[in-house]
């Protein structure tokens, strides 16, 4: 079942919608066409009690203010591009710098700050958001058509499907920036998160993360051996 409501208005008075997907078990996912953002996901725990498992806001106004990309669709390129520039086929492209001198999560007006077209699909319990990122947007080349479909399944899974086509070679690295918590959602003014620790079996070399990616955590092309070391995170969900 899909319920569509008005979530609020942008500063230019353009209306923003929010869609609530509900399955037969009572699980819900709430997504908005502003930023193609997942604002809420509530699913049953091992005892069948439905609870919130993501961080987000209940008001559009909070998403219009600075926040750590809660639940947002990130593009064209998730993560950082050093010095807000890259070279492709011998041509240099200068991007919008929004993280010091670097580009983070698509630039000043990334996909998370755009109003997307929404197409509900009640037969699939899904909503597809689409937009055209025009040639030169935030400095990236090519007209890029993007779709992201959120589907809430009958086995309580939230599925995200991405589709992108372009008329020029261009970097693209789409993702969703959801923050998951394993207790009831708790957000303070400092955006602190209290959650049950989870175990991440990530193997690393003796290099620190700062040594690998630098102080600004910008990825580079060096391949690192991830075998034979202790996991970085040792706390486990029980």
How confident is the model over 46-88, as pLDDT tens digits? 888 899 999 999 999 999 998 999 999 999 999 999 889 999 9
104 and 204 together in one domain:
no
What integer is the mean pLDDT of 175-198?
A: 56
In this structure, are 146 and 209 located in the same domain? no
In the chain, DSSP assigns E strands to: 2-9, 15-22, 28-32, 37-44, 50-52, 73-74, 80-81, 85-88, 91-94, 103-104, 117-121, 126-133, 144-152, 158-166, 175-176
Phi, psi values for residue 97, rounded to 5°? -90, 125
Q: Residue 99 — pLDDT band, cuts 50, 70, 90?
A: confident
User: Does 228 have pLDDT greater than 80?
Assistant: no
40 and 104 in a common domain:
yes
Same domain, 137 and 233: no
Same domain, 174 and 226: no
Q: Which of 147, 164, 188 is the last residue of a domain?
A: 188
Question: For residue 47, what pLDDT is reported?
Answer: 86
The count of domains in the chain is: 2
Write the DSSP string, 206-217. SS-HHHHHTTTT
d(CA 233, CA 77): 27
Residue 60 and residue 135 in one domain: yes
**Candidate from 19-28, 134-143, 190-199, 208-217 with smallest mean pLDDT:** 190-199
Note whether 63 and 181 are same-domain residues: yes
**Comparison of pLDDT for 213 and 217, the residue scoring more:** 217
Q: 181 with 53: CB under 8 angstroms?
A: yes
How much is the CA Rg of the chain, to the nearest whole Å? 19
Residue range(s) defining the domain that contains residue 230: 197-238
pLDDT the model gives residue 24: 94
The pLDDT-based confidence of 206 (bands split at 50, 70, 90) is: very low
Let me know whether 48 and 85 are in one domain.
yes
Is pLDDT of 203 > 60? no
Average pLDDT over the chain, rounded to an integer: 83
- Looking at the fold, whether 18 and 91 belong to one and the same domain comes out as yes
Kindly state whether residues 30 and 55 are assigned to the same domain: yes
Do 173 and 206 lie in a common domain? no
Clarify whether residues 136 and 184 are in a common domain: yes
Instruction: Answer yes or no: pTM beyond 0.85.
Output: no
The answer to whether residue 95 scores a pLDDT higher than 80 is yes
Share of the chain above pLDDT 90, in %: 66
Res 219 pLDDT > 70: no
């Amino acid at each position: 079942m899909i319920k569509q409501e008005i979530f609020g208005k942008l500063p230019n008075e353009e209306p923003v919608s929010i869609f609530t997907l509900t399955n037969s078990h009572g699980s819900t996912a709430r997504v908005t066409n502003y930023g193609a953002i997942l604002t809420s996901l509530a699913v049953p725990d091992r005892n069948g009690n439905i609870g919130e498992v993501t961080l987000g806001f209940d008001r559009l106004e909070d998403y219009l203010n600075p926040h750590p990309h809660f639940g947002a669709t990130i593009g064209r390129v998730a993560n950082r591009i050093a010095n807000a520039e890259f070279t492709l086929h011998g041509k240099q492209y200068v991007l919008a710098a929004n993280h010091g001198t670097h580009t983070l999560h698509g630039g000043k007006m990334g996909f998370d700050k755009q109003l997307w077209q929404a197409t509900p699909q009640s037969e699939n319990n899904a909503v597809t958001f689409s937009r055209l990122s025009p040639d030169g947007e935030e400095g990236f080349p090519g007209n890029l058509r993007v779709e992201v479909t959120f589907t809430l399944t009958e086995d309580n899974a939230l599925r995200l499907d991405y589709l992108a086509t372009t008329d020029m070679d261009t970097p693209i690295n789409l993702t969703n920036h959801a923050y998951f918590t394993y207790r009831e959602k708790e957000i303070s003014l400092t955006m602190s998160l209290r959650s049950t620790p989870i175990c991440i079996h990530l193997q690393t070399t003796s290099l620190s993360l700062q040594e690998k990616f630098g102080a600004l955590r910008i990825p580079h092309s060096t391949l690192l051996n991830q075998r034979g070391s202790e996991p970085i995170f040792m706390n486990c969900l029980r």
